[in-house]
Structures are given as structure tokens and as C-alpha cells.
A = this chain, B = another copy of it.
Amino acid sequence: MNSIQDNKYSQQRQAAIGAAASVFAAKGFHGASTKAIAEKLGIKQGSLYYYFKSKEEALGEVCLFGIQNYVQRMDAIANSSQPFEAKLVAVVTSHLTSYRERNEALKVYNDERLYLPKEKRTKLKELGSGYRQSLERIFEDALAAAILKPSVDCHFAAQAVIGLCNAWGDLIVRDPNIDIYEIIEKCTDLLINGFGYSEHK
């Protein structure tokens, strides 16, 4: 049957995407050779082209894989009915956890996607800005509910959360001993309360 074969094919293809992610993450898109990717898969260089039309297509697949379920999770959080603080914790948790789970592909998405041709890049960009907009909406709702200071700029806030998470995500990828949950707690505390005493405000 078709479905079984497709399934098997996509399993192997998924492995190929994983191998590509690993090499792209380590060497960058241009520094990674198709030979190195094939070797990681246990096949010869030329055979890789059974799975990808080009090296560029492989990059596209890796980036897509890297950001996909990360965006899905954000949507789920944004559409849920938790209170603001819980949502914020969930966002940070989801973001950092994504790094640990599929660190390589997400790193590739962040660092190498600009080498994709314009068309694919804009497609991925839509996904990425959907992520940011969902996050922005979480802040807007909290602002409307007077949970945040009226001076908060929601666009800035969303970028700050993403920037903070990406920065820690990078450190998490490099050092597997970092305690994610400690980071999550400290990040959310920073975002809500800052480092200063209340009296100083």
C-alpha cells in the first residue's frame, strides 16, 4: 500500500533531515558539505540526492522542522484561558524546551535561514512573525486587563521575551547540564518583576 511505503520513506527522510540539521548546526550552511551529511546518515554523498533535490532544499526542510511544532505550541498557549502569568511561564517553558528537544534544527532556523531563497524565506518568516504576534496578543490582553504597567510596549515586550529565550536557548544547546527549570523561573521573574526592589519604583 501507498501509506506504508510513504511512511517508511518519510521515516528515512526524517532521518535525513535530522542528519542535515546536525551538520548545519555545527558547521553552518555553507560550511557543511553534502558528503558530511551523507556520512552522518551512513550513505554515500550522491545518494543524498534521492531525498533532496538540492542542498538548499535540505536547509529549507530543516528550518521548517525546527520552527514547526514550536509555533503550534505557541498557538495553543495563546488561545488557552490561563491567567497571564501562567501563559508567560508556558511560553518560556515551551521555547526553552524546544531548544533542548530539537536544538539543532531550531538553531539552524535561527542562524541559517537567511541563506534560503527569498520565496522560502518569506514563507518561514510568516510562521516566525505569527509566533511573535501571538505573543504580542498575550501582552495586549494583559495590558487591557491592567495586569501590566500602562507604559508597557507590547511589541517591545514580545521581542524581549523572544530575545531572552533565544539567548538562553543558545547557552542551553551548548551546555546540556544547565537546569532549564531554574532558567524558566528566573526569566519569568525578571520579565514580571525586574531585578530591582519595589521600593525603588
A interface residue numbers (CB < 8 A to B): 27-31, 111, 115, 139, 146-149, 151-153, 156-157, 159-160, 162-164, 166-168, 171, 183, 186-187, 189-198, 200-201
Contact = CB atoms under 8 A, between A and B. Distances in A.
A160 B19 CA distance: 31
Contacts of A160: 164, 167-168, 186-187, 190
Contacts of A146: 197
A190 B194 contact: yes
B190 A193 contact: no
Contacts of A168: 159-160, 163
A148 B192 contact: no
B167 A159 contact: yes
A186 B111 contact: no
A175 to B, nearest CB: 12
B157 A195 contact: yes
A193 to B, nearest CB: 4
